[in-house]
Amino acid sequence: MIFEETRLPGAFLVGFEKREDDRGFFARAFCSQEFIDHGLKPVGVQCNLAANYIKGTLRGLHYQVPPAAEAKFFRCIHGTNYHVIVDMRPDSATYLQHLGVELSSDNRLGLYIPEMFAHGYQALSDGSEAFYMVSEYYTPGCERGLRYDDPILNIAWPLSITMISPKDTQWPFLPSLNSTNNEVL
């Protein structure tokens, strides 16, 4: 596996090391030991699959706080999704900064999202599917969220939003803070 740290410390893009022959290729998609070797929390108490029927569908931005703060590892296994992460660690030098990355069945990249990072994504193709692993069980009392359209974050989603859950439209806006440096990978 190939690990590339993003400009938000602790968040990584993870690529494959393919072994190819005439039949196709083999690649390790996840390895707890390799995650540990890179200082990452292994993920794996739950695996989830999310299908998005319509291009423009938005899910998130979600995270969990202690004692159930969770790390996540996402891959897009069909189609294309645009993933955004936001650093929610109050003591971090990159607090409230975000970045976006395209994950697709073509580029086969994975995204490791550390604890205390909000995460959301938008389907860029009809019928996209994401497979992801989490390090903690879903704990409703620890769930938090950010508004996808919060002016403080100023996230530039690539498409108009066609579908979003009512819950995701009702997260509160962040209190007014100084502007942060947000960019897209």
Contact assessment for residue 11 and residue 85, using Cβ atoms and an 8 Å cutoff: yes
Set 82, 112, 121, 132: catalytic member? 132
Which is catalytic among the residues 62, 83, 98, 119?
62
Separation CA 30–CA 12 (nearest Å): 13
To the query of whether residue 132 is one of the catalytic residues in this protein, the response is yes
Among this protein's residues, is 78 annotated catalytic?
no
Q: What is the full DSSP assignment across 66-135?
A: TTS---EEEEEEESEEEEEEEE--TTSTTTT-EEEEEEETTT--EEEE-TTEEEEEEESSTTEEEEEEES
Q: Residue holding tokens 């690529």?
A: 15
Spatial distance between the Cα atoms of 80 and 135, rounded to a whole number of angstroms: 24
Q: Which residues are catalytic?
A: 62, 132
